[in-house]
Structure 1
């Protein structure tokens, strides 16, 4: 899954999150290119500790709350929602930090994959003890219900992504109710991303799929070592406690607590000992938490990419020449400097929305289609009839070349980034109008496309980046924030899903992404490190790349 930081996007089995979270795009890579590493960090740092080495008991407390949409399969779900979901629902398939598939025997006692006549078959044998908290057995009907809700055949479902699900031709009962047989049209090598969690058949009814989890939990439809203890709609705080109905390895913690705090308050709460773990997203927060007694910094690679989205249905951004000129005017190296100042971190500029530079098959698709060049941008705008006005802002047909930039919240780093973009565009004759918005309006801004330019991030929850090509770039997808693309390109994008070999599929996806980037509607800007301050002794928490530790393995060292 890929969790969107922003959207409505699903990129975590397909999903979304709010975020603000490097070579220059110039031909020579900019002044810092010689010093930049050739790939982003693929290091993990999370104090991996065996289950038997953890003590029984304790509480784990972090910043967090529930999101508007808590169903991770829904188009409006966020990364936050997905993480909360995982504490009281099935975690059936996970990945190692580097992306190897791991089946959880508490859910799937056996998995067999075969290909016959060019079509793939997957047989999932479900643990005999597995049951939802309301007593409903977890069986083949849960797999079927999850498939039906996400395969796009019923338009009443606001599914985050249909990719992969639509290639399944059937889900049937195997030797008994505890076996699901999945048949595919062709081969879908990244199928594990489709069923790393699944829905209770009741939750998979259209009305419940769309509305039941809005600001609500349904622990009765959940399963796992923990269940909801307290879901406080007033404060936004959540507490998970051990689930007496769990059949597998019991959770090591007595409680898992989310406290609803803004980022600054979260740093202070960590310093006061009220939290066990906090994200250090910038130099100021890192400075505040570094060296605190009884804590340590854990830092590693990040499967995030933050991109600038251009709403192609909004005003002057409907003109591809304008979009290209704006992208050519943005010095991504300088944006990265703003983001990473004081973090002692460097990375090459991200060249793809699909894969990261530490992954096999990654290609710098951005540099293949875009070069940093404000002088070239000026020439293109001149040729397109955008003439500089007396105030330096270009005009055409009585219209000023003004573009809005939606800035969420009051984060200093977000403000600095917006200011940097405005300063880069001004000499080219483009006025950037910064429009402040409340974090609470995030979902509606995206789902209703109430923006011109919007910076948002995606976090990949699985290593199958090519799977998300359509989600990001297909013209008929809600998850394509830019609304760019064409039916002809959609056809090329969807054809990549039919390639059975993962390496070949990735190579084809890279070629198609280069074409999609020539719409100049989406510009990857930076990824950044994953850096956290953690109380010493906290195990299996930190910079995990693609790894999502099972809830029962999170706890405190003996």
Structure 2
């Protein structure tokens, strides 16, 4: 799913840029600051200094900004991208993808993979590496695959699972010729099954209690596996250090240490300038200006597997009316928001039209444009018809209640403030007040899980290329991962039918058609993606703009 190794991972971009207010422009045109037409697709290049394992030197430390999340289990619905990134450094990375999305099986975990279809039902046989073992000595065998499936298949609602997509299609996981072989039987065919087991859980971590609570602000290295394990996990500072795992059976990790330091985004740029960290995100003109040209560093920039969207809380009293939600969407000038985001970056992209695919992917369609246009005049008429009449201060009123929406703003970066200000101005022009409330980054997960918002700008990162399988996570009315709460049982049925299509091309066509229906709930609006741009110390190998690729931890390090 978006921003996931099989999970919905929410992320708010905290970056800094000083912008000046500007007039709203057409919401159907360019997303380029100078007004030029945007290209038909976003950039899809990768830039990460790909370096063979034997050309990476032994030793050294790799330090970046980061910390552990409130919920550290990436399979849990309340986890974020932070959890996925930290998890990957001390747990199994069994299946990964190339930058363009080709499947790669890690032989340190999977000795063999066989996929067949018999009688219309898919069977996947996973043969696990005989040497593979969890850090507590428990063999990594078919029981780990079974435990991961059982925790995520939706049969037990006590599990706060991020997604049941695909897992619910598996009818059984059984032992094969021996304990090191897992046989997965599906009902029908699942073309994107590999995304279900990119990592997996220790059977002890897969009980309801441990799945939901054991990783809350805690690490469990004894249930992990891989070339690195936890060295220090400082609950006070939020800093983490990973060190080589003496129980690892595969290729030795190149680094002596992998360090995360807990810094706010603005402090991260200064830390990079001072040589304290080795890598920093630079998604704004101001941050890019500060780090560009620094001695001993370089800029790596490429395609972005991120997308930021505006979420509407359909459970909120003022947004329960679909007509009101549609009117507000019609009032949002996405092109203007994109100009604010990309000012000074010399970057172009089309406005995003889907939650499930990026414009550089095969089969992408602009489903947003098919159901919505920027039309503030129409929005005013619709709000009038819904009974919301302009008050003396210009803000609409109905039954004595003002049409006011709460908008949490994470952090204090100028770009976030500018975006919130622009949204407030757009909505005010049609008689809607946006109440912007500053929130700490520590509140992020709680805002999402408790739906403490009317409108919220948040984003997702895709860790696999199978966008169609994520329809339900975004749009099913009975999914916690659907942050908006919108949808209907009838639509849910159509969405779930898409997952049973075995051919990826056909599945994508069906997914586009269903997404157009889901977008007509008017509770979710894709806003922008932007480039993946990073400041990196020269010589750092296998780090940067990787799109769908997640380099194995043992390959990350410094060139010889």
Q: Scaled by the length of structure 1, what TM-score is found? A: 0.96
User: Structure 1: which 5+ runs fail to align?
Assistant: 4-10
**Equivalent residue, structure 1, for 2:407:** 405
**Equivalent residue, structure 1, for 2:537:** 535
Cα distance in 1 for residues equivalent to 2:79 and 2:222: 20
Which of residues 230, 233, 250 in structure 1 aligns to 2:232?
A: 230
**Equivalent residue, structure 1, for 2:99:** 97
**Equivalent residue, structure 1, for 2:2:** 2
**Equivalent residue, structure 1, for 2:11:** 18
Displacement after TM superposition at 1:507 (Å): 0.6
The count of residues paired between Structure 1 and Structure 2 equals 550
Q: State the superposition RMSD in angstroms.
A: 1.5
Displacement after TM superposition at 1:444 (Å): 1.4
Q: Would you say the 8 A contact 1:74–1:209 is kept in 2? A: yes
Cα distance in 2 for residues equivalent to 1:123 and 1:432: 53
**Equivalent residue, structure 2, for 1:295:** 297
Q: Would you say the 8 A contact 1:74–1:158 is kept in 2? A: yes
User: Structure 2: which 5+ runs fail to align?
Assistant: 15-23
Cα distance in 1 for residues equivalent to 2:426 and 2:2: 31
Displacement after TM superposition at 1:399 (Å): 2.0
Displacement after TM superposition at 1:438 (Å): 1.7
Q: Would you say the 8 A contact 2:30–2:351 is kept in 1? A: no
Alignment of 1:542-553 (within 5 A): 542-553=544-555
Displacement after TM superposition at 1:15 (Å): 3.6
Q: Would you say the 8 A contact 2:283–2:530 is kept in 1? A: no
Alignment of 1:75-474 (within 5 A): 75-474=77-476
Cα distance in 2 for residues equivalent to 1:455 and 1:208: 31
Q: Would you say the 8 A contact 1:60–1:256 is kept in 2? A: yes
Q: Would you say the 8 A contact 1:325–1:381 is kept in 2? A: yes
Alignment of 1:34-113 (within 5 A): 35-113=37-115
Cα distance in 2 for residues equivalent to 1:127 and 1:317: 52
Cα distance in 1 for residues equivalent to 2:325 and 2:516: 16
**Structure 2 CA distance for partners of 1:274 and 1:34, relative to 1, 3 Å:** closer
List per-residue Cα deviations over 1:88-130 (Å, max 9, x = no partner): 1000000000000000000001000000111000000101111
**Equivalent residue, structure 2, for 1:7:** none
SS at match of 1:498: coil
Displacement after TM superposition at 1:16 (Å): 2.0
Cα distance in 2 for residues equivalent to 1:232 and 1:384: 53
Displacement after TM superposition at 1:388 (Å): 1.7
List per-residue Cα deviations over 1:423-456 (Å, max 9, x = no partner): 1111211111112222211111111111100111
Displacement after TM superposition at 1:67 (Å): 0.7
Q: Would you say the 8 A contact 2:79–2:445 is kept in 1? A: no
Cα distance in 1 for residues equivalent to 2:252 and 2:478: 44
Q: Would you say the 8 A contact 2:352–2:359 is kept in 1? A: yes
**Equivalent residue, structure 1, for 2:522:** 520
**Structure 2 CA distance for partners of 1:98 and 1:24, relative to 1, 3 Å:** farther
List per-residue Cα deviations over 1:331-376 (Å, max 9, x = no partner): 1000001111111111000000000000001000000000111111
SS at match of 1:146: helix
Displacement after TM superposition at 1:27 (Å): 5.4
SS at match of 2:117: strand
Q: Scaled by the length of structure 2, what TM-score is found? A: 0.96
Cα distance in 2 for residues equivalent to 1:25 and 1:513: 24
List per-residue Cα deviations over 1:135-174 (Å, max 9, x = no partner): 1111111100110011011122111101100000000011
Q: Would you say the 8 A contact 1:12–1:79 is kept in 2? A: no
Point out the more displaced range, 427-436 or 168-177. Answer: 427-436
Point out the more displaced range, 172-181 or 314-323. Answer: 314-323
Q: Would you say the 8 A contact 1:189–1:500 is kept in 2? A: yes
Displacement after TM superposition at 1:42 (Å): 0.7
SS at match of 1:203: helix
Cα distance in 2 for residues equivalent to 1:13 and 1:371: 32
List per-residue Cα deviations over 1:493-530 (Å, max 9, x = no partner): 00101111111011101101000100110000001111
Q: Would you say the 8 A contact 1:309–1:521 is kept in 2? A: yes
Cα distance in 2 for residues equivalent to 1:476 and 1:41: 35
Q: Would you say the 8 A contact 2:306–2:462 is kept in 1? A: yes
Which of residues 492, 495, 502 in structure 2 aligns to 1:493?
A: 495
Cα distance in 1 for residues equivalent to 2:12 and 2:447: 13
Cα distance in 2 for residues equivalent to 1:323 and 1:308: 11
Displacement after TM superposition at 1:25 (Å): 7.0
Q: Would you say the 8 A contact 2:282–2:288 is kept in 1? A: yes
SS at match of 2:57: coil
